[in-house]
Every structure is written in structure tokens, then in C-alpha cells.
Amino acid sequence: MFWGVVVFEILCWVVFFAMLGTFTYLSFKRGRVLPGLWLMLGIFAMSWIEAPFDNAMYAQFHPDFHRLPPIGPLGMTQGQLPVIAPPGYIMYFLLPALIAVGIAKLIIKRHNTDQVNTLIVCGLAVGVLWDLSIEGLQAQYLHLWTFSRVVPGLALSNDMGLLPAYVPLAMGAFIVFATVIVGNTTTEGDSVIDIGAKLVTTSPGARLGLQAVAYIVLCTFVYATTYLPHAITKYAGMVTQTGVLVPYPGRIAMQPESGGPQSNGFLGAVIIWGLLCGSVALTWWWAKKADRLLIAPMLASATPAVERKPSLAN
């Protein structure tokens, strides 16, 4: 068992249970489910998209990872999807979002900047740097996962495969969304999703069910928008730059090609970068509009002496 796989799996489980325990305790203490705990549910539920994502990006994980059974779309990862993927998503997406919220709060307090804009900029910056650091370090030293094919341009290569420069933007796009959800809240700590659920129904049980569905659907939708450009370029045969096509020979077979000859790589790069930037822009537009329609009225009706609390406040 490769030590790097062991360390990564343990780290993912430790962070997952630490965050689950923290958010559960804070939710119990405040008598309501916090946005952070709801977001954990949404992120966990959307993690099945990792397998189609892997297939579209010709990604393979180190053979020593414990694997999930290849059921339905979960079987799309060549060599099967690691068990650590669902809990690992919590560490990979929610932890940097919380870091971004902390940085944004400091900037807002010191410079009195616009809350939504600051959260989005910090979320994108932290998200891109977070993913680039993890992807780069593991690609260079641990080879925990690798990409065999990418669209051309700005891809870093090593002796195991390729590291496409657009992956940090894709991951950062979702971290922007997560940052806005946990950072842009009312004085009571409600996110825009929580407010929307309260406006739809006054029944506590129905509201909880609506919140659960809303967080799952929105997380899945936002993450699917980052998967879409990768799926388009993969199935259109535009993933033209190759690295090591069989990174784990004798243990994981080469992933089958998508069909016809790989061509039009430049067009693929335009599609990837264009749609990923569009995903960030769409989240920005949604966050500003939701803040104007849902958050701002709640803050305006609150007592002026009451300060706006982040969702993690005691």
C-alpha cells in the first residue's frame, strides 16, 4: 500500500468527520441546521459526478486507493472510483470555501468592500490556488492521480501524465459558489437557500425537506456546469494533447478513446476556458441577484444595532 494513498485517505476522513462534528455541534447549539451542514450534504450528494468527470478528463487514480463498486455512472472512472471521493469532496471544496470566507470577512471589515464581490473574488483566488497546489504537489511527487489526455495549451507534463491548467479554474468555480453560500448570510445566519425555503413554506418539516433538496440540486447544477465543457470536448474528440496513456501499466488498463480521431484541439481549448469562465460569471450574477432580492431585505428589516453574523458564528 503506497504511503501517499494512505496519508491522503486518512486526511480526507479526518477532515470529513471533523467538519461533520463541528457543524452538527454548532447546529445543535443554535437550534437550527447551519448552511455549512447543508452544504456538506449537497457536496456529498453531487460527488457521483466525479466518475463522469474522470472519464471526460482521462483521469486515473493510483491503484492502491480503495474502490467503490462500478454501479451506474460510478463505473465511468477507469479503474473504478475511489471510496474516498464522496468524503474527500468535503475537504476539497468546503474547507477552502471556509478559508475564503475568513479572508473575505477580514477584508470587508478593514476596507468596507462590497460583501458579495469580496466573497466571490476571495473564493475564486483561494479555490484556484488551493487546487493548483494540491494538483501540482501530488502530480510532481505522489502521482495519486493523473490525466492522460487534455486539450492543448498550458498543460504541465511529468513522468506520469499531464496537469491541465484549466482544472484549478473548474474546481475554483464551485468553490466560489460554496463561499457565497456560507459567507453571504443574514443576521440569523441564513443563506439565500434558507431564506428561499422559508418564503415557500412555514411548515418546519416541509422547510427542512425543501432545504435538503435545494442544496443538493443547486450543488449538483453548479458542479455540472464545470463538467459540461469537459464532456463536450471529450465526446467531440478534441482532447488532443497526450501524456502517458497507460500511467499504471499492468494494474489499470488504458481508457478507451471517445470514438473518432482526436482533432480540433484549439477549438476545444476555447470551449473549455470559455464555458468555465462563463460558469464563474453565472455564479457571480446569481449571487448578486440573490443578495439583492433575498439577503438585503432581511438585513434592512433587522435592528441596526445587530451585526451581520457569518454562518459559523456561535
Q: Coil, strand, or helix at residue 5?
A: helix
**Residue 306: what pLDDT?**
47
With a cut of 70, say whether residue 304 has pLDDT above it: no
pLDDT band at 156 (very low <50, low <70, confident <90, very high): confident
**Residue 314: what pLDDT?**
36
pLDDT band at 59 (very low <50, low <70, confident <90, very high): very high
With a cut of 60, say whether residue 313 has pLDDT above it: no
Mean pLDDT along residues 29-51: 96
**Residue 259: what pLDDT?**
67
With a cut of 80, say whether residue 303 has pLDDT above it: no
With a cut of 70, say whether residue 311 has pLDDT above it: no
With a cut of 60, say whether residue 195 has pLDDT above it: yes
With a cut of 90, say whether residue 243 has pLDDT above it: no
**Residue 300: what pLDDT?**
77
Beta partners for residue 82, in sequence order: 67
CB 99 within 8 A of CB 124: no
Q: pLDDT: is 312 or 259 the higher one?
A: 259
In 16-95, the DSSP E strands lie at 59-61
- Give the percent of the chain with pLDDT over 70: 95
Question: Comparing 149-163, 200-214, 244-258, which segment has the lowest mean pLDDT?
Answer: 149-163
**Residue 68: what pLDDT?**
97
Question: Comparing 84-98, 169-183, 296-310, which segment has the lowest mean pLDDT?
Answer: 296-310
Q: What is the DSSP letter of 84?
A: T
With a cut of 50, say whether residue 178 has pLDDT above it: yes
CB 19 within 8 A of CB 90: yes
With a cut of 70, say whether residue 82 has pLDDT above it: yes
Question: Comparing 126-135, 151-160, 238-247, which segment has the lowest mean pLDDT?
Answer: 151-160
With a cut of 90, say whether residue 85 has pLDDT above it: yes
CA distance 145 to 58: 10
296-305 long-range contacts (CB < 8 A, ≥24 apart) are: 298/186, 298/187, 298/188, 298/190, 298/195, 299/186, 299/187, 302/186, 302/187
CA distance 281 to 169: 12
Q: Quick one: 239 exposed, middle or buried, by C-beta within 10 A (0-12, 13-18, 19+)?
A: buried
**Residue 185: what pLDDT?**
93
**Residue 305: what pLDDT?**
47
CB 77 within 8 A of CB 55: yes
CA distance 144 to 247: 11
CA distance 25 to 281: 35
Is pTM beyond 0.85? Reply is yes
Mean pLDDT along residues 260-268: 85
Question: Comparing 27-41, 176-190, 231-245, 248-262, which segment has the lowest mean pLDDT?
Answer: 248-262
CB 51 within 8 A of CB 76: yes
Q: Coil, strand, or helix at residue 188?
A: coil
Helix and strand numbers, DSSP H then E, in the chain: 11, 6
Mean pLDDT along residues 264-274: 94
pLDDT band at 260 (very low <50, low <70, confident <90, very high): low
**Residue 302: what pLDDT?**
63
The average confidence (pLDDT) of the chain is 92
Q: Coil, strand, or helix at residue 147?
A: strand
